[in-house]
Amino acid sequence: MKLICGLGNPGREYERHRHNIGFMVVDALLSRVRAELNQEKFQARVGQGTLGGEKVLFLEPQTYMNLSGRSLAEAARFYKIAVEDILVIHDELDMPFGRLQLKAGGGSGGHNGLKSSVSSLGADGFIRLRFGIGKPQGPNAKDRVAGYVLSNFDDGERRQLDELIALAADAAETWVRDGLATAMNRYNKRAP
């Protein structure tokens, strides 16, 4: 069994924010496999389905981003899922909008959801699907990061969003079916 966890914040007010791209990709995967998040456990919305011929546990933590690793670790322990069989989908400020990158392990890059995941799992070797959201530019850009990730995509980004979410879902499905190396070769080089 594999575990695919999308990072985001619960509640309608956060639904379409850049920080919730992980939830959006999980939702796209669920619609592909005709499954839904029909259980509430591990402080998360949970569902199961078959993707790429493999049973997958889908997870959307409801703890808010900074504590999302708790849900992930609880689910992984309960289902005895190895760290290398976990895919965490998250927004990435340090990549241009729409760029995708799969990788195994690494630091958190300041992403609080990843920090929480590494801390709660006690390991950093899980797979990450980084979805580029770009970052604010200009003077005082660093001071505007929190507001930026907690804002909706702009009109130009929204026009491309469905296609990019589908591409990210393709990358996740390729990881499940064909493994990390194949998924990385296929999706890491693509420009948005």
Residue 90 bears catalytic tag: no
3-class SS at 33?
coil
CA quadruple 113, 168, 97, 153: dihedral, nearest 10: -80
Query: Which string of b and e fits 99-116 if b means at least 16 CB within 10 Å?
Result: bbbbeeeeebeebbbbbb
66 is in an annotated binding site: yes
112 is in an annotated binding site: yes
Which listed residue (17, 19, 90, 111) is catalytic? Answer: 19
64 is in an annotated binding site: yes
Q: Which amino acid is present at 13? A: E
Binding residues: 14, 64, 66, 112
Question: Which residues are known to be catalytic?
Answer: 19
- Binding site for tRNA: residue ranges? 14, 64, 66, 112
